A and B are shown apart, each in its own frame.
Chain A
Amino acid sequence: MRNRPRLYVSYASEMALLPTWTQKVAALVFLVFLVLIPFGVIPGLGFLADNDWLKILSRVSIFAIGALGLHLLSGLAGQVSLGHAFFVGIGAYTAAILGGEVGKGTWGLGLPIWIWLPAAGIVAALIGALIAPTAVRVRGIYLAIVTLGLVFVGEWLFRSLPFITGGAQAGRKFPTFEFRFWQEEVPFLDFTSDGPWFGIQMTSEAKIYILLLVFVIIAVIIAKNIQRTRVGRAFMSIRDRDIAAEVMGVADTKHKVMAFALSSALAGVTGALMGAFVGRLVPEGFSLFLSIQFVAALLIGGIGTVTGTLLGATFVLVLPRVVQDLTGLLASTAQTGSGWTAAVANFFVSTAEGDPGIVSTLPGTSPGLNIAQFNLLLYGLLLIAFLIFEPLGLYGIWIRIRNYWKSWPFTY
């Protein structure tokens, strides 16, 4: 058996979360890497300990939980859903009612996090289960349109319930990351202020990052475990051939409803965390674009795999920052640099009035796109490029690299 790492001698070992020693070690090293990020001790990546970057990474964690939810529904069960943002919104507002304080014209019960966070998932799951029987009557493209309708109806609903959501464009405050037993004054665990933990000085951003890391690891384990057990196999059989699955005794509607409920639960948790992280959300935030971002994360990362989903979530949320930095770099090169680098930079960036370029660092009037628009454009183009050239996404690229090095230096 030695030197045959892919030879499984038992079903349990094949189904294990991390089947080989290489994977166990790699997972551990990666975990240590993630935990060490906020302390800035990793050579070359010290900039990630910056509060800005920690915030982006925290957003990635929050977003990844919801993306894992969509992975269960669309990646495993094969149900095309554009309505994920609606369930994110349900979760966010459940958390706001239960955990938030009474604001100007808004309700709030001020309950502790161990109530509002699970409740956000449960309420979203219940609403998902309530809607699912109607939604699963339709299939394929019809389902995409119905779930799209759900987002628009949801947006209107959130706008017209000002006592819960704070109303259009105003929004409301959300509960914060403070752990209390009940409604006592001083929380026993506080993530919202800087201060030492076990003798190590940490900023609030670093603390929240660690907390969210724990949440996302729990979500990954849940998603992985669903995927490799009976329910997950039922989902995949429905995705691959629903009638064949039914003939073999997989209850079609039951599992589709289950997929909806599970995916909505994770979406709801994402919503609650999003609210707590940002502090104030407007009802317009739960729009079609949020849904599209989730789907994009799945497709860019590689649909149907947990690793791909995580890669995609990271990519989708880190891209805007990279584009911003890159544009800033190009702008400064165009203004102060010389030679061909400045010429290239000048072609892309317009820094002055009347200066043609694709991106403009000026607000408003100049002909180029502003940075937000340029981000959107790149986002769409990347999505198209991935779908056409690499349908398996980032995960597919990784598989190809891995397979190349497996037999290196031999070609096969």
Chain B
Amino acid sequence: MIPTILAFAEAGGQDAIDKFANATSSGIALGAIYALLALGLVLIYKATQVLNFAHGALAALGAFFAAYLATVLNFPGRYATFLPLTMQWLLSALVAVLLTAVVGLVLERLAIRPMIGEPLFSVVMITIALDIVIRTITDDLIGTNPRPLGDPWGAGNFHLGPAVIAKSEVATLIVTLICLIGIALFFRSRYGVAMRATAFDQEAAMAQGISAGRIFALAWAIGAGLAATAGIFSSLFPRSSIGVSNTTAFFAFRALPAIVIGGLDSITGAVVGGFIVGLAESYAGAYLVGDTWSFLGLGFAGVMPYIVMLVVLIVRPYGLFGTEEIRRV
């Protein structure tokens, strides 16, 4: 074992260590975004039993809002010129997240609420139809060229040991941690407990005076907000140096493997799954390239999440942390 590592280090030397460190750091940042996306998906699924295929479209919409607010309108920064630029941009991003949350509320009220109790196929399809509608409108709003988000970090980076880390990656990680802690705290609050109760047994929750409709709306608002956050941070420098574009929405489909790996109804699972998928994709992108791996073709890193998912599902059909469904006749 040790001779192997020594031989590896001797053969690759500093280059190999650098490569590994860079792949790991960008994998963690990517994982943070997948974790954010997965968190929103799991929250909506837990509360309403709906898997939101329109999550990617909401993420792209949120990123577009942020780009438009920050670069075109300069809102609300123009009223708060005394604040540093970073704070102004964060304010724009926050407003974009809130706007997307409102869109989430409207969607829930118009399209999801009437579908309660319908067969699974119809519910899946309605979120896919929502995805088509929102994505078409967002694509048109974005236009043919990508829109930069006007974030204060740009392409700035710094060295941490052997790894080169982008500043926006650190920002992503911090925001993800804040969101995670926020969700954990939310689940201890009055409404969070109500949401857990509704997820556990809707009728019993309603008998206790919890308004299930309000809980559904809340879940969709928070879910859409999380989607927007993920969309904004996935459009920053290391992954797309150009900003939000027509491909941003498709990015979120790779968060679906994350929640399947973690288990659809587990918050812990979403986070763990997100990081597993992010690291797997990053390592595949760093190592499975070059002449030896040319038979894999282009874009193998993009399908790596699905391959990890299939492997996990063969071993554990309900994910790593998911609850096994109890089936009754």
Listed in ascending order, the chain A residues whose CB lies under 8 Å from chain B are 74, 78, 80, 134, 137-142, 144-146, 148-150, 152-153, 156, 159-161, 168, 241-244, 247, 288, 292, 295-296, 299, 303, 364, 369, 373, 376-377, 379-381, 383-384, 387-388, 391
Contact = CB atoms under 8 A, between A and B. Distances in A.
B256 A148 contact: yes
B313 interface: yes
Contact of A292 (B132, B260, B295): B132
Interface in B70-104: none
With a 10 A CB-CB cut-off, give which of B115, B131, B306 has the most chain A CB atoms: B306
B60 to A, nearest CB: 14
B303 interface: yes
Per DSSP, chain A at the interface is helix
A364 B126 contact: no
* Residue among B130, B307, B310 with the highest chain A CB neighbour number at 10 A: B310
Contacts of B299: 156, 159-160
A144 B257 CA distance: 11
B303 A383 contact: no
A388 B126 CA distance: 9
A152 B253 contact: yes
B4 interface: no
B128 to A, nearest CB: 6
Contact of A377 (B111, B136, B256, B313): B136
Contacts of B114: 388
B184 interface: no
B302 interface: yes
A145 B256 contact: yes
13 contacts: A134-B310, A141-B45, A142-B264, A146-B309, A160-B296, A160-B298, A168-B298, A303-B121, A380-B131, A381-B129, A384-B111, A384-B133, A387-B126
B124 A144 contact: yes
B79 to A, nearest CB: 27
A144 B129 contact: no
Contacts of A384: 111, 126, 129-130, 133
Contacts of A379: 129, 132
A247 B327 CA distance: 13
Contacts, number: 133
B125 interface: yes
B136 A380 contact: yes
A160 B257 contact: no
Nearest to A78: B121
B291 interface: no
A266 B253 CA distance: 27
Interface stretch (B137-145, B157-165, B235-243): B137-145
Nearest to B49: A141
Given A140-B120, A387-B125, A156 B144 contact: no
Interface in B309-329: 309-310, 313-314, 317-318, 325, 327-329
Contacts of A244: 329
Nearest to A81: B121
B208 interface: no
A122 to B, nearest CB: 24
Nearest to B131: A380
A193 B126 CA distance: 43
B201 interface: no
B277 to A, nearest CB: 12
Contact of B325 (A139, A146, A161): A139
A383 B126 CA distance: 7
B303 A153 contact: yes
Contact of A369 (B136, B300, B309, B325): B136
B118 interface: yes
Give the one of B45, B121, B300, B314 with max A CB within 10 A.
B121
Contacts of A161: 297
B118 A381 contact: no
A242 B120 CA distance: 15
A369 B125 contact: no
B129 A80 contact: no
A137 B311 CA distance: 13
B253 A148 contact: yes
B51 interface: yes
Given A149-B310, A383-B125, A243 B327 contact: yes
Interface string B41-75: 00001000001000000000000000000000000
Contacts of B300: 156, 160
Contacts of A288: 253
B122 interface: yes
B317 A152 contact: no
B121 A80 contact: yes
B316 to A, nearest CB: 10
Central interface residue in A74, A140, A145, A153, by most chain B CB within 10 Å: A145
Contacts of B129: 296, 379-381, 383-384, 387
Contacts of B140: 369, 373
